């Protein structure tokens, strides 16, 4: 892990197109500004991990849940008179 010291309004570069700027420091909290291309997702670590867990869960679909995929949707009660 690379550890850098920065003061407020100072930045670091990640590659050629990501800039991380120290926006504010209050007590034990640091506010960061991140300027990155829109095609690069930027998330807090806990959000990133939640997305990864949800993606993994979505790949584990029970066969019972897919049984009726592609079948016509049931008609609601009373819909037989809608023609």
79 in any annotated domain: no
pLDDT of residue 63: 74
pLDDT of residue 50: 97
d(CA 24, CA 28): 11
pLDDT of residue 79: 63
Contact (Cβ atoms closer than 8 angstroms) between residue 32 and residue 18: no
**pTM across the whole model:** 0.66
Q: What is the mean pLDDT of each run of 10 residues along the chain (83 residues)?
A: 96 97 97 97 97 91 76 74 58
DSSP 9: T
74 in any annotated domain: no
pLDDT of residue 42: 96
Q: Which of 33, 42, 37, 1 is nearest to 16 (CA)?
A: 37
Q: How far is CA 51 from CA 20, 32, 35, 46, in A?
A: 23, 22, 21, 9
Residue 38 belongs to domain spanning = 1-61
70 in any annotated domain: no
81 in any annotated domain: no
């Amino acid at each position: 892990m690379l550890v850098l010291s920065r003061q407020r309004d100072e930045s670091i570069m990640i590659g050629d197109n990501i800039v991380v700027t120290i926006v504010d420091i209050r007590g034990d909290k640091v506010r960061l500004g991140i300027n990155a291309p829109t095609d690069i997702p930027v998330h807090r670590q806990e959000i990133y991990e939640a997305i990864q867990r949800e993606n993994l869960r979505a790949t584990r679909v029970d066969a019972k849940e897919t049984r009726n995929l592609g079948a016509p949707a049931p008609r609601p009660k009373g819909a037989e008179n809608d023609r």
